[in-house]
Amino acid sequence: KKKIGKIKILSVGKMFAKAIRRIHNGESVSVLFSPFEDF
The answer to whether the CB of 37 falls within 8 A of the CB of 31 is yes
Per-residue model confidence as pLDDT tens digits over 1-39: 566 778 888 888 998 999 999 999 999 999 888 776 454
Q: Is the dihedral of CA 23, 28, 34, 37 positive or negative?
A: negative
**Structure confidence at residue 22 (pLDDT):** 95
